[in-house]
Amino acid sequence: MKELQKDRRDFIKFSTLGILGLTLGAGVVISPLALQAQMKLRPPGAVSEKEFLALCIKCGQCLQVCPYHSIKLADMAKGHGIGTPYIDARERGCYACSAVPCVLACPSGALDHACEKPEDIKMGIAVLEFPNKCIAMTNELVTKEQIARIHTHPNSRQLEQDILDKLDKFEGKPCTICADMCPIPNASSAISMIQSGNGMKPEIYDGCVGCGACEELCPAFEAAIVIKPRLTYEDYYIKGIRS
């Protein structure tokens, strides 16, 4: 009997240690992933990240009303914000809807209802992160193959088809896609093309709201222009804050 009790205690002890070891081991993996939640591009109107994570009830209402299928819900690989909405700009940017329906649909205040129009959106700031990849700077013409990636998105609504129709018109022309496809009503306050050597390059202004359409539509194999989530024009271009 004593031997049986000893075996039972040993089993419990080593099982507990094993579980603890797995937990600690997982922590090594999960901890860096948890930090990624700070860097997600959130939907329009998102309050500060700490408040957002506290207020968001993970209902998915913002996702359901987005007419461009821009919003996704974070899974376990995205860190501690599991179930919270975010936008993968390279896959599908935000198109700054005039009524900002995602904000109107939010019942918890995670998306601030003071954000009523595209100009109120403050998601981040666009940055020409990889100028060597920008085909406008090398004066290359846009090819059908370069814009084919956008056609692979499940474009099921007319608004999404309209994007494709506009994008296809750039084939065979010098690239000005990021500036000419900017969805902000006064796009020239956010981005324009300026002369750069033998080509052109995008110049970002303080009207940029960080919607991510430019990153999505960039025809380079790896986006030359990217969004820095939650940074403002002043943060990045004046104060030099990079993340």
Angstrom distance (rounded) from CA 174 to CA 134: 11
Span 65-101, pLDDT tens digits: 999 999 999 987 756 689 999 999 999 999 999 999 9
Last residue in a domain, options 120, 147, 168: 120
Same domain, 134 and 191: yes
Last residue in a domain, options 100, 120, 140: 120
For the chain, what is the domain count?
2
The residue assigned the tokens 């896959």 is 91
Judge whether 7 lies within some domain: no
- Domain of 62, CATH number, reads 3.30.70
Same domain, 74 and 172: no
Last residue in a domain, options 120, 154, 171: 120
pLDDT of 3? 52
Same domain, 56 and 96: yes
Same domain, 129 and 102: no
Angstrom distance (rounded) from CA 53 to CA 79: 12
Q: Which of 221, 227, 229, 185 is nearest to 202 (CA)?
A: 227
Same domain, 115 and 207: no
Helix extents (H) in 56-188: 61-65, 101-105, 144-151, 158-168, 177-180
Span 113-167, pLDDT tens digits: 999 999 999 999 999 999 999 999 999 999 999 999 999 888 889 999 999 999 9
Angstrom distance (rounded) from CA 137 to CA 198: 7
Judge whether 4 lies within some domain: no
Residue 57 structural domain: 39-120
| pTM score of the predicted model | 0.84
Same domain, 107 and 151: no
Same domain, 110 and 164: no
Confidence class of residue 7 from pLDDT cuts 50, 70 and 90?
low
Angstrom distance (rounded) from CA 62 to CA 102: 4
